[in-house]
A and B are shown apart, each in its own frame.
Chain A
Amino acid sequence: MTNPPAPPVLRAVDLTRSYGKGQARFDALRGVSLEIRRGESLAIVGKSGSGKSTLMHLLALLDRPDSGRVEIDGQDVGAASAPAVNRLRNERFGFVFQQFFLTAGQTVLENVSLPLVVAGVAPRERRRRALATLDALGLADKAGNKANDLSGGQKQRVVIARALVNEPDLIFADEPTGNLDTATGHQVEDLLFGLQRERGITLVVVTHDEELAARCDRRITIADGLIVGESDAAASVISEGAGR
């Protein structure tokens, strides 16, 4: 692994996380270290139960590790206060989930505005930015539709618009194409990688889809809570045993 000139946008150092106690104790992560460079796309792959989702949650500051630390721009966020972490997630992260998580009864515009509502942006500004983002994704004509009335591909594009509306520098995508058919999945992938290249957004994708992982600049493979493989897409060389 080569050292980038700039500090990595996200660095994880020896993360561990377990759930449950005693007999029921399950070690989801058993010491994971990785660096994510600004503007790159990283695929975290692994079977279900491998710990890849747990790793993404820790990287996205949705959860705290039992040990180890997460650094953003070289700053340890373990010591940061809850409001500071909330603000960090709100201002710098975007989330794309497999299950969309759109509020069915609300319009597309309202759904896309949600991060701005949470941020406390004024209604007029909110509307302007949400419409601009929808326009960029070719969804401007759907702004007034109820989220429920859209097709799967349209929903996922709305979710991407929602992830983009606060102009994040990191997007976490958890199985972004898992609920879509192949053709629609490809469109969504094209959209995500296009945004990553055009806007210089760092993209972290959790997937078990080989094809999607292959399109990323880099991939790490997780098994049983450890990184078992890391490769550059271009080289497609798998180096073994980054973990223990």
Chain B
Amino acid sequence: MRATDVITSATRNAFRSKLRTTLTVLSLFVGAFTLTLTTALGAGVSDYVTKQVASLSTGDVLLVTPATTTDTTEGPTEYDPDGRQQSSQANPLGGGTLMNDDDLDSIAAIDGVDRVEPIRSISVDWVASSDTSIDTRYELSVNPTSSIGRSDLVAGAQLDQEAEDAQVILPEDYVDALGYEDAGDAIGRTIELGYSGADRSERTTEATVVGVARTSLLASGAGANQALTTEIADAQAVPGQPDAYAVAVAYLTGSGGDGTVTDDDVAGVKVALADADLAGQTVEDQLGVVQTIINGIIGVLSAFAIVALIAASFGIINTLLMSVQERTREIGLMKAMGMSNGRVFGLFSLEAVVIGFLGSALGALAAIGVGSAISSVAAAGPLAALPGLTLLLFDPLSVALVIAAIMLIAFLSGVLPARRAARQHPIESLRYE
């Protein structure tokens, strides 16, 4: 029997009992539908996080924090007046210990580090436009990590960390509020920032808008360049208190082509930092945790889909066993005519694969249809605050993988009935009533 004949026969046989096949296909449909959606959800969220990481990280920076002390055996640590200070408030980016200027110097001295900038938290009370008709003051929060990397820009340019003048990147929703026509119109305009000094005095300063950024999951608030941050941080520093930083940013020099920073460069600096009792993390390292959590959730959701598929596979076994039973005499006849056991096996297992393909392809198509609709509704409604997030991302490769996996499950389910058919004795099959 020719391979093409086996395939066409298997396909036709699958449709001989339409209702039964339809019901089995439906059970696979449910599994395929769910699995396609969960994979798409995982892909969508992962893609968003990856994009955010890319937008955040320039790839050549390390966030440096004091190494967490795990040493518990040597009793109380002796006081060192020049040592590091302890923070009085919890810092999500670092441990309780703060770095001092000595630490910054030792970071700067590491081979491969171009320069080091401490991250200083600043608080701005309000922002107002200095050159439009609107003079309402709005609250504004400045993202302390804006100096690490790039923003997801709607218009304008990234912050110049080494510039002398004060620069800001405004979140998109401030464009209207401050009276600009559009994002492009805001570029180059001057804004006024109000803040309180360490002595509770009200102060103002001016900055130039260099860019307008999309709201992002991981970087909210406005961005301020080093010049502006330093100015405000200096005014907000408590007089007499030595400088202490929770986090510093080390800018690396690359050894790769065109000065790009290679993985080896990053690893080398990390080792040197560890020697100095400091810990360095790339933005990717930090977001790896987020990624792991997302993958965990997607994994659990996919497990439900797999359970549905396992249930469906029993449906396939049942359907095919009935099919084998019904066609006992036909199998006997084909065997009498010289059809080999292998071909009989192939005929029935392929029938299972055909059912698997139908269920998975229809399920995947429906999932793509429904998912795209959900995705666009969600993007317009509840997820409007997260532009750039495609909740369900249907990657052709992963959809194809889902279909292939379900066809494999169907094939495996078909093995038992197909073996039963292949092992039937022609005479007994022909006698079967």
Are B1 and A89 in contact, CB atoms less than 8 angstroms apart?
no
Q: Are B337 and A114 in contact (CB under 8 A)?
A: yes
If A62-B426, A117-B5 touch, does A101 touch B340 (CB 8 Å cutoff)?
no
B340 to A114, Cβ gap below 8 A? no
Closest to A97 in B: B430
Q: Is the CB of A105 closer than 8 A to any CB of chain B?
A: yes
- State whether the Cβ of A57 lies closer than 8 Å to any Cβ in chain B: yes
Contacts A101-B430, A114-B333 hold; do A86 and B338 have CB atoms under 8 A apart? yes
**Which chain B residues numbered 293 to 352 have a C-beta less than 8 Å away from chain A?**
329-330, 332-334, 336-341, 343
Interface residues of B in 379-433 (CB under 8 A from A): 425-427, 430
**For the complex, is B200 an interface residue (Cβ under 8 Å from A)?**
no
Which of B1, B337, B339, B425 contacts A95, CB < 8 Å? B337
Whether the Cβ atoms of B1 and A87 lie closer than 8 Å is no
Contact A57 to B427, CB < 8 A, known contacts A103-B330, A117-B5? yes
Interface size class of A (residues with CB under 8 A): 20 to 34
Instruction: Select which of B336, B425, B430 is within 8 A of A89 by beta carbon.
Output: B336
How far, in whole Å, are A221 and B343 apart by their CA atoms in the complex?
Answer: 38
A114 to B333, CA, bound (A): 9
Residues of B within 8 A of A76 (CB): none
Task: Confirm or deny: A240 has a beta carbon within 8 angstroms of a beta carbon on chain B.
Answer: no
Contact with B along A60-98 (1 / 0, CB 8 A): 101100000000000000000011001111110001010
Chain B residues within an 8 Å CB radius of A62:
336, 426-427
List the A residue with the shortest CB-CB distance to B340: A86
Which A residues lie within 8 Å of B9 (CB)?
Answer: 117
Chain B residues whose C-beta falls within 8 Å of the C-beta of A122 in the assembled complex: 2
Q: Please provide the chain A residues from 197 to 229 with a CB less than 8 Å away from any CB of chain B in the complex.
A: none
Partner of B1, one of A88, A101, A120: A120
| Pick from B16, B333, B343, B426: contact of A105, CB under 8 Å | B16
A13 at the interface (CB under 8 A from B): no
Task: Report whether A89 and B338 are in contact in the complex, using a CB–CB cutoff of 8 Å.
Answer: yes
With A114-B333, A120-B2 known to touch, is A86 a contact of B427 (CB < 8 Å)? no
Q: Is the CB of B16 within 8 A of A118?
A: no
Task: Supply 5 further A-B pairs (C-beta < 8 A) apart from A95-B333, A115-B338, A119-B338.
Answer: A89-B337, A90-B339, A101-B332, A115-B337, A119-B1
Question: Could you list which residues of chain A lie within 8 angstroms of chain B, going by C-beta atoms?
Answer: 57, 60, 62-63, 82-83, 86-91, 95, 97, 99, 101, 103, 105, 114-115, 117-120, 122-123
- The contact sample of 29 A-B pairs, CB cut-off 8 A, is A57-B427, A60-B336, A62-B426, A62-B427, A63-B427, A82-B340, A86-B339, A88-B338, A89-B337, A90-B337, A91-B338, A95-B336, A97-B430, A99-B329, A101-B329, A101-B330, A101-B332, A105-B16, A114-B337, A115-B337, A117-B2, A117-B5, A118-B1, A118-B334, A118-B337, A119-B1, A120-B1, A120-B5, A122-B2
